[in-house]
Homo-oligomer: A and B are copies of this chain.
Amino acid sequence: MARRNLPLAEVYRHLEPGPVVLLTTSQRGKPNVMTMSWHTMMEFEPPLVGCVVSGRDFSFAALKATKECVIAIPTVEIARKVIGCGNCSGREVDKFARFGLTPGTAAQVQAPLIEECYANFECRVADTKMVAKYNFFVLEVLKAWIDPAQKNPKTIHHRGKGVMMVAGETMKLASKMK
């Protein structure tokens, strides 16, 4: 997928609506990817993102050890791959191979981009104080990439138990909010 640099100040516009994302890590040369919906923006710039990565997830140890990851935002076209990544573990499976996801080289982290995703945000772990109690990591986005062709990406939003809401129409209201 084509990609251009996205200004860091624009990152929140893609995560704030609450899409399901893929989180990639790489430890000892072995990339992995997990599906995640428990994330929130915490600061505009530099963009801070808080997220829960369960201690049961294989990605947890890699994230904790390497302090790096990529948050990639998929669209409905690859919804089955996204759910597939949530239904198995990197302990047993090379998910990139199984689901036909293409790892791309990131600029600032070892974790891979995902070529099939319309946005890719390279992150470092900025704060681990809430990890012990809540498995909650604070990430800083270091570098952001976006597919310039996708003006209205059909992101997917998990309603639990495999039920996905697909992004519908957008409307613009007069707002003083960022």
Q: Which positions in A face B, CB cutoff 8 Å? A: 10, 12-14, 16-19, 35, 37-43, 48, 50-52, 79-80, 83, 86-87, 127, 129-130, 133-134, 136, 138, 154-155, 157-178
Contact = CB atoms under 8 A, between A and B. Distances in A.
B83 A173 contact: yes
Contact of A83 (B16, B50, B174): B174
B40 A38 contact: yes
Contact of A167 (B138, B157, B177): B157
B167 A163 contact: no
Given A83-B175, A86-B175, A158-B177, 13 more contacts: A13-B160, A14-B159, A16-B38, A16-B158, A16-B159, A17-B37, A40-B52, A41-B52, A50-B134, A161-B177, A163-B170, A165-B169, A167-B167
Contacts of A164: 170-173
Contacts of A42: 38, 52, 134, 136
Given A48-B134, A136-B50, A168-B168, A17 B175 contact: no
Chain A interface helix/strand/loop/mixed? mixed
Nearest to A133: B127
A87 B43 CA distance: 19
Contacts of A12: 160
B38 A134 contact: no
Nearest to A168: B168
A158 to B, nearest CB: 5
A173 to B, nearest CB: 5
A16 B175 contact: no
Q: Please indicate which of the listed interface residues A10, A17, A159 has the most CB atoms of chain B within 10 Å of its own CB.
A: A17
A82 to B, nearest CB: 9
Q: Which 10 A-B pairs have the closest CB atoms?
A: A18-B18, A168-B168, A162-B175, A17-B157, A13-B160, A40-B40, A83-B173, A162-B173, A166-B168, A87-B176
